[in-house]
Amino acid sequence: MRTENLLVELFVEELPPKALKKLGVAFATVLADSLKAQGLAAADAAVTDYASPRRLAVHVAAVAAQAADRAVSQKLMPVAVGIDASGQATAALLKKLQALGAGPEAVAGLQKRMDGKAEALYFDSTVRGASLAEGLQKALSDAIAKLPIPKVMSYQLERDCDLPGWSTVSFVRPAHGLLALHGSAVVPVQELGLRATDSTQGHRFEALVSPVRIAHADDYATTLARDGAVIASFDERSRAMVRALRNEAKRLDRRLEVEPLLLSDDEAEAVLLDNALVQEVTGLVERPTVMVCNFDEAFLQVPQECLILTMKANQKYFPLFDDAGKLSNQFLIVSNINPADPRFVIGGNERVVRPRLADAKFFYDQDRKRTLESRVQSLSKVVYHNQLGTQGDRMQRVCQIAGAIGMRIGGKALADKAMLAARLAKTDLLTDMVGEFPDLQGIMGNYYARNDGLSEEIANAISDHYHPRFAGDSLPTNDVGRTLALADKLETLVGMFGIGSLPTGDKDPFALRRHALGVIRILMDARDLPLHLPALLDDAAQAFGELIKDPRAALLDFFFDRLAGNLREQGNSAQAVDAVLALRPAQLGDVSRRLEAVRVFASLPESAALAAANKRIGNILKKSEAAQGPVDAALLHEAAEKALFAAMQIVLPQADAGIAAKDYTSSLQALAVLRAPVDAFFDGVMVNAEDPALKANRLALLQQLHSAMNRVADLAKLAA
């Protein structure tokens, strides 16, 4: 069977840059998978995707001109339905055969095979393999139909026929060319009103020829780079751009924002390649050229976060920093053209960025004319939620919650600071700068608080209360920030759960899962602070009064579900996580220590037997009314129960001491010596004795043992 490499390209107007990489991969994957499913390409055929601002393309290795014929066996119907009592074909069978393109003569060739408990009729035939033209037509249609495009646009094409008029086509952007080469031969396919050729277009301004003819499928990338001035591969173009950015930064003795000094060259390049701005700019240029620009140093008086955001978000520029991480007045641009004299490109970009930076400076100067305190009243004019009131109402609730948490952690001094920070935390939402750049909320509040003469502790808390914003993000840096962050997140969670606005499936408009994980991370980090989750939920619920329904039970379930998933993702065994969280520990700061204790205990030779015994004890106690009082030593008759009781008098105080010192590992290790007396007890003692007093005493003994064994975790969860 003759095979050649296949190249397909769809040439279009500029595609959405942020989605370009995903579009390129999807186009290549779906098209290649369709060819493989039709038998035109091997399952392991190499597939290379290409994507530039004006093209999606794919190269598939060793594609056949004609797929091999396939033997197909189709089940028709049960024999009893298809053949009548006289052995003749029924009307139902003949109709089925006709639908398959066969006549009555095919009846004699039908096969009878068992299908479950009954015989069925099967029609065996050979299906002609698809030609490449047929298969590629289907694959191309599939690839276009399945592109991950949230919204398509419709445009008109003049009909390519004798009839006058126009036809409507829908696609992400207007398509102007289709290239399909099997080796050096054009594959006659059509799509989006286009017929396949062996030509495409290169760079809008720098292509050496137009159109660019591709002689062979394997020549696509090299010919397009040579004659069309286009780097067709998204990844190749991205790497070329990153290398150029890094080389310019090094030449200027500067560094890029996402290139920390501690990283090796390879690590820094990997971080850059995964950076959102790099990905977006790669989707904007067909052949990147990096140039150095400058802005007026006077703008450096503005907080650098403002300048960075306006350069990156609005202009797609790359800011440069010194070794201390301070923004410089130099920045890098990536141009889609490479003129002999770059001064006009550089000058144009410098002129464009100046008014952007001037706007940022204006907003900053204007915002500082008013204190954050003067904006507090205006929070009452901003709607937070139609069932939960205004931002002013929310601020009052957060203040109350922050005060309560502050009292728990550090008394009145901390509570007063936390309430002041809570009062001012959302006021920067009313500033011009945050109105223009919402991503700066909290950050600008920190700057404006310092400008108002507030302490560093309060200023940092205002920005820190948004943390952690995502997995791996930093936590609040001080107790005021920690208190405010908890209060803010708990107010959101309790309020939304209280009005029944819960996350469903993949929809979480109020980021409640993220808020819950943020609370969990803060509480787990604050290992020795007296912060108990149920008590914190009580504090938050009290701030709402009668405004909401009580959500605390549902929220506890929500928190522990999130915590269980998070702990498993960190590599903890499901058994250990289930054992620890079965107790619903109120202080999440203890969870890590409890998990470590369970891991150590599970490695002991006695652990399996004790876990099984613990499970057995739990089952016995569930079926009986366990005695609540102390064990009466005088009622211990059997040697095994006396030995277990005596061992418990020695071991349980040791385990209790470990609990008191939060040394959970030593507490569980102390219990390991009970294995032998516990085994002997179950071998030699009848718990459900006929004498009620003996039975009650033995149940009390087991109740005491069960309570002691399950103070760190539910050890029964470790039983196989």
Chain-centre distance of CA 220, in angstroms? Answer: 36
CA dihedral 262, 265, 269, 272 (to 10 degrees): 30
- What 3-state DSSP class applies to 112? strand
Three-class SS string for 270-305?
HHHHCCHHHHHHHCCCCCCEEEEEECCHHHHHCCHH
pTM: 0.82
> How confident is the model over 429-479, as pLDDT tens digits?
999 999 999 999 999 999 999 999 999 999 999 999 999 998 888 999 999
6-26 in b/e form (b: 16+ CB < 10 A) is bbbbbbbeebbbebbbbbbbb
- The answer to whether residue 271 scores a pLDDT higher than 80 is no
- The predicted model gives 275-300 an average pLDDT of 96
> Measuring CA to CA, which residue among 149, 81, 141, 139 is closest to residue 110?
81
What local confidence, expressed as pLDDT, does residue 123 receive?
86
Residue 146, classified by CB atoms within 10 Å of its CB into exposed (0-12), middle (13-18) or buried (19+), is middle
Rounded distance, CA 564 to CA 578, Å? 8
Confidence of residue 312 (pLDDT cuts 50, 70, 90): very high
> Measuring CA to CA, which residue among 561, 545, 544 is closest to residue 553?
561
What local confidence, expressed as pLDDT, does residue 169 receive?
84
- The answer to whether residue 120 scores a pLDDT higher than 50 is yes
Rounded distance, CA 518 to CA 220, Å? 49
- Backbone φ/ψ region at 183: left (φ over 0), alpha (ψ -120 to 50), beta: left
In the block, tokens 């056949």 appear at 64
- The predicted model gives 45-63 an average pLDDT of 97
Judge whether 284 and 316 are in contact, CB under 8 Å: yes
Delineate the domains of the chain, giving CATH numbers in brackets. 3-67+131-228 (3.30.70), 77-127 (no CATH), 234-367 (no CATH), 373-571 (1.10.3210), 592-718 (1.10.730)
Using alpha carbons, list the distances in angstroms from residue 243 to 341, 414, 513. Answer: 22, 50, 38
Confidence of residue 626 (pLDDT cuts 50, 70, 90): low
Which DSSP helix (H) or strand (E) runs through 389? Answer: strand 389-390
> How confident is the model over 333-386, as pLDDT tens digits?
999 999 999 999 999 999 999 999 999 999 999 999 999 999 999 999 999 999
What percent of the chain has a predicted confidence (pLDDT) above 90? 70
Confidence of residue 166 (pLDDT cuts 50, 70, 90): low
* Sign of the C-alpha dihedral computed for residues 203, 53, 239 and 180 taken in this order: negative
Which DSSP helix (H) or strand (E) runs through 651? Answer: helix 639-660
**Side chain identity at 671, as an amino acid letter?**
L
- The predicted model gives 557-561 an average pLDDT of 96
Q: Indicate the DSSP class of residue 635.
A: G
Rounded distance, CA 299 to CA 364, Å? 11
DSSP track, 97-145: HHHTT--GGGGGG-EEEEETTEEEEEEEEEEPPPBHHHHHHHHHHHHHH
Largest pairwise CA distance in the chain: 110
- The answer to whether residue 203 scores a pLDDT higher than 50 is yes
* Residue 578: count of CB within 10 angstroms of its CB: 18
Q: Of residues 172 and 107, which shows the higher confidence score? A: 172
Confidence of residue 163 (pLDDT cuts 50, 70, 90): very low
DSSP track, 589-609: GGHHHHHHHHHHHHTSTTHHH
Average pLDDT, the chain: 91
- What lies within 8 Å, CB to CB, of 630 at 6+ separation is 700, 704
Q: Report angle CA 348, 354, 360 to the nearest 5 degrees.
A: 150
**Side chain identity at 694, as an amino acid letter?**
L
- The predicted model gives 247-273 an average pLDDT of 78
| Alpha helix positions (H), 474-626 | 479-498, 512-525, 533-544, 552-569, 574-581, 591-602, 607-623
Rounded distance, CA 537 to CA 515, Å? 14
Answer whether the bond into residue 164 is a cis peptide, omega within 30°: no
Rounded distance, CA 110 to CA 133, Å? 33
Which DSSP helix (H) or strand (E) runs through 12? Answer: strand 3-12
Rounded distance, CA 50 to CA 242, Å? 18
Answer whether the bond into residue 211 is a cis peptide, omega within 30°: yes
What local confidence, expressed as pLDDT, does residue 94 receive?
86
Measured in degrees and rounded to the nearest 5, phi and psi for residue 122 equal -125, 140
Rounded distance, CA 452 to CA 374, Å? 11
**Side chain identity at 179, as an amino acid letter?**
L
Whats the size of the chain, residue-wise?
720
Instruction: Give the pair of three-digit tokens for residue 174.
Output: 């207007």
